Amino acid sequence: MIKAVIYSRVSSEGNRQDTDRQTKELIEYSKKMGYELVDVYEEKVSGYKKNEERPVFSRMLDEIEKGNIDKVLVWELSRIGRSVIQSLQNIQLLTDRKVSIYIKNFNLETLNEDKTPNPLSMFMVQILFSVANMESQLTYSRMASGYRAYIKKNGTESVGRKKGSVEPEDVFLEKHKDVIKLLKKGISIRNISKLTGNKSTNTIMKVKRTALKLEMI
């Protein structure tokens, strides 16, 4: 019998109810396929963390090294790793150990039944990651372009918000791109405040929530 585990990564700003629903559907899929569900690994950590900074993921890898796992079930590609490079490295890591990854939202298996790499699935994975990365870059480029146009049209004196107005998310993030860079490096909120000239922790938390929403970190 195939021994499977579920790996679920939810960010600190993630939706608990949505995560539970995804895990439940993966459990039902495991039962439907007749797998022996060994464990459910759930991690609450940012996607940009390295593997060694993700204790639950590391614990799963330890079990894989012992030969106790044949298949890892995930809801989507971003659960494996937020960045393209990290995700592909983790997929290759499991492939080298003859462990297949099942990606629910695309119904993809990285290995065939004989545990050889599935060329079509691997090709699709790389294409999907490339498209996601391209979309992220285009989103940031549009945000920067929109902000420059806003400044040009209204002048630097008009950048501040009027009382009661709602600042567009793209304008807000462009103003705090230094914070985004530091968040991507995994630096703590308190240290980011110091490094950015004592920007308030509330502002930094808002940047983090907004950037996660737009999948910029």
Same domain, 97 and 167: no
User: Does residue 182 fall inside a structural domain?
Assistant: yes
Listed residues 86, 117, 148: the one ending a domain: 117
Same domain, 86 and 51: yes
Same domain, 35 and 106: yes
Residue that wins the pLDDT comparison between 144 and 198: 198
Report the candidate in 107, 86, 115, 113 with the shortest Cα–Cα distance to residue 9: 86
pLDDT category of residue 22 using cuts at 50, 70 and 90: confident
Share of the chain above pLDDT 70, in %: 71
User: Does residue 122 fall inside a structural domain?
Assistant: no
The pLDDT value recorded for residue 169 is 81
User: Does residue 163 fall inside a structural domain?
Assistant: yes
Same domain, 78 and 109: yes
Collapsed DSSP state (helix, strand, coil) of residue 70: coil
The pLDDT value recorded for residue 36 is 97
User: Does residue 51 fall inside a structural domain?
Assistant: yes
User: Does residue 159 fall inside a structural domain?
Assistant: yes
The pLDDT value recorded for residue 159 is 46
Same domain, 22 and 107: yes
Same domain, 157 and 59: no
User: Does residue 125 fall inside a structural domain?
Assistant: no
Mean pLDDT of 68-72: 95
Same domain, 145 and 107: no
The pLDDT value recorded for residue 47 is 47
Same domain, 156 and 191: yes
The pLDDT value recorded for residue 151 is 59
Query: Where in the sequence is the domain holding 90, given as residue range(s)?
Result: 3-117
User: Does residue 123 fall inside a structural domain?
Assistant: no
Same domain, 102 and 173: no
Same domain, 100 and 44: yes
pLDDT category of residue 69 using cuts at 50, 70 and 90: very high
Report the number of distinct structural domains present in the chain: 2
The pLDDT value recorded for residue 137 is 62
Q: pTM of the prediction?
A: 0.57
Average pLDDT, the chain: 79
Domain CATH code at residue 33: 3.40.50.1390
Same domain, 110 and 146: no
One-letter amino acid of 91:
I
User: Does residue 131 fall inside a structural domain?
Assistant: no
Same domain, 111 and 145: no
Q: Cα-flanking dihedrals φ and ψ of residue 2, to 5°?
A: -70, 130
Q: Cα-flanking dihedrals φ and ψ of residue 173, to 5°?
A: -70, -35
Give the separation between CA 113 and CA 40, rounded to whole angstroms: 22
Give the pLDDT confidence of 121-152 residue by residue, as tens digits. 877 777 766 665 665 566 656 666 665 665 56
